[in-house]
Amino acid sequence: MFHRLIRTLDLYDGLRLPVRIGREELLLIHEEGDTWLVQRRCPHGDFALDRGSVHRGVLRCPGHGLEFALSSGRCQENRSYCLRRYPLEFDGPWLGVSLNATAGH
Ligand code: FES
What is the distance of C-alpha 104 from the center of its chain?
A: 15
Q: Which residues face 4 on adjacent strands?
A: 96
Which atom in ligand 1 lies closest to the alpha carbon of residue 49? Answer: 2
Full pLDDT tens readout for the chain, 105 residues: 999 999 999 999 999 999 999 999 999 999 999 999 999 999 999 999 999 999 999 999 999 999 999 999 999 999 999 999 999 999 999 999 999 755 444
Three-class DSSP category at 32: coil
Q: What's the pTM?
A: 0.93
Task: Tell me the H-state helices in 1-51.
Answer: none
Gap from CA of 62 to ligand 1 centroid (Å) = 7
Gap from CA of 33 to ligand 1 centroid (Å) = 25
Of 71, 96, 75, 98, nearest in space to 85 by CA: 71
- The domains of the chain, with CATH numbers, are 15-88 (2.102.10.10)
Gap from CA of 100 to ligand 1 centroid (Å) = 27
- State how beta strands 2-7 and 24-31 pair: unpaired
How far apart are the C-alpha atoms of 40 and 19, rounded to whole Å? Answer: 8
